[in-house]
Amino acid sequence: MTVLSPAPLPVHRARLSFWAGVAIALTAVNLRTAVTGFAPLQEIIGADLGYGVALAGLLGTAPAAAFGVFGILAPVVTRRFGLERTATAALALTAVSLVLRAVSPSPLALVLSTVLALAGIGAANVVVVPLVKAWFAHRLALWTSFYLILMQTGQFVAPLLAVPVAEAASWRLSVGLWAAPAALAALVWLVLTAKLPTDHHAPVATIAGDARPRLRRSSTAWGLTILFAMVGLSNYAIITWVPSVLTDAGGSTSLGGSMVGLYSAWGVLAALVVPQVATRMENPFAVVVACAAFLVLGYVGLAVSPLDGTVVWVCALGVGVSTFPLCMALINRRTRSPQSASAVSGFVQGIGYGVACVGPVGLGLLREATGSWTTPLVVLAATTVPGVAAGWFACRPRYVEDSRSA
């Protein structure tokens, strides 16, 4: 009688899944540190390298623009090389570019290295979503919450360390230290990629064939894109201009900074709660409507009485942008495969970030033209209308692949 030993595949798969989870976690930590860890040092770096407000403004708008451009390009790379290899290259590019930024001898070198770093992060933004679907499809809500919380953590920690490290050592060390976690993430992805079977990296065209989503004909994909664009526009506008709204009304600079911190804190709670809700509701459109109501409340409150009830208005805005984690969860919920999720993620984030980067500049110009923040805040409140309309299509329980007009 022959005794068959247990097949080793499940154990091997479990081991690979563990390391994929580690790699996703490390990737998430790196998705914002190069941006938020740089912003507080702009004045110090500008004084050292000899550039002024104009270039500082360009560097400030570069993240959203780069995320948009390279978000669109990332799925092209994943179709050829696979998700894990793309993640490896993206994080490696980020790590090398952050080192180059830290040793930049001139403003030009600083700009070029910053763009390269943001290119890597833009690609990582896109691939982390389908990677969650590929490795943890049975726990989408848990892992979506997990990586978003880690992303928010990196977003918090980087600016808190930026100035103290720069004062204790130098701005170059403060900027360059974030290359280490990016390099570690790239290394884990590289090792994992080497252990995967060859057919795991088969091009998407071979795997998905004619089932690939026709994104430009999909109302679901367009709904996600417009919803993401509107929440992105609000997010960048709030971070950029709420301190100015408060100081122009007579508030202190410290008040503006603390309110941005309070606003950002809500992102952690949203990352924890919203993906769970999105996966339990067949149609989470009610979440979109509720978030729109909170945004309107916050914008109207700031326009009418910025210094009375400031905490309430800022908390309302923090709750209102919870459609960001909703979009991230729905990209996986409204696609059938990791390959389709990659294509939709690039489409949504590419266009969405492209629109979002216009917000801070456009609203600043509107403030200059009108002489007050009332009109810009009314415009921001009005963006909830296309957001709600788009949310109706994004939240319907349909897969992007199912029809040409899904």
Q: Are 302 and 353 members of one domain? A: yes
Q: Are residues 133 and 267 in the same domain?
A: no
AA letter at 235: N
DSSP tag of 25: H
Residue 303 in contact with residue 316, Cβ under 8 Å? no
Answer whether 291's CB lies under 8 Å from 309's CB: no
Q: Let me know if 347 is exposed, middle or buried by CB neighbors in 10 A (0-12, 13-18, 19+).
A: buried
Single out the residue of 323, 299, 318 nearest to residue 382, CA to CA.
Answer: 299
**Does 225 fall in a domain?**
yes
pLDDT at 66: 84
Helix H or strand E segment including 3: none
pLDDT tens profile 246-283: 888 888 867 776 787 788 888 888 888 888 888 888 99
CATH of residue 242's domain is: 1.20.1250.20
DSSP 8-state symbol, 249: T
The token duo for 34 is 């190069």
Position 243 scores a pLDDT of 82
Q: Taking a C-beta distance cutoff of 8 angstroms, is the pair 121, 94 a contact?
A: yes
179: Cβ contacts below 8 Å, ≥ 6 apart: 94, 95, 96, 98, 99, 102
Task: Supply the range of the domain harboring residue 253.
Answer: 212-406
What is the separation, in whole angstroms, between the first and last Cα of the chain?
Answer: 56
Q: Give a yes or no: residue 205 inside a domain.
A: no
- Lowest-pLDDT range of 65-74, 318-327, 328-337, 372-381: 65-74
* pLDDT, the chain, mean: 85
Look at residue 19 and tell me if it is in a domain. yes
For residue 120, what pLDDT band results from cuts at 50, 70 and 90?
A: very high
Residue with tokens 């130098």: 170
Asked whether residue 346 falls in the same domain as residue 384, the answer is: yes
Q: For the chain, what's the residue count? A: 406
Pick the last residue of a domain from 198, 228, 248.
Answer: 198
Q: When comparing pLDDT for 379 and 41, which is higher? A: 379
Task: Give the model's confidence band at 210: pLDDT under 50 very low, under 70 low, under 90 confident, else very high.
Answer: very low
pLDDT in tens, 279-331: 888 999 999 999 999 999 999 999 999 999 999 999 999 999 999 999 999 99
Dist. CA 377–CA 373, nearest whole Å: 6
Using H for helix, E for strand and C for coil, what is the string for 144-171? HHHHHHHHHHHHHHHHHHHHHHHHHCCH
Kind plus residue range of the DSSP H or E element containing 33: helix 33-36
- Residue 101 in any domain: the answer is yes
Question: What pLDDT does 65 receive?
Answer: 82
Residue 104, both tokens: 């930049």
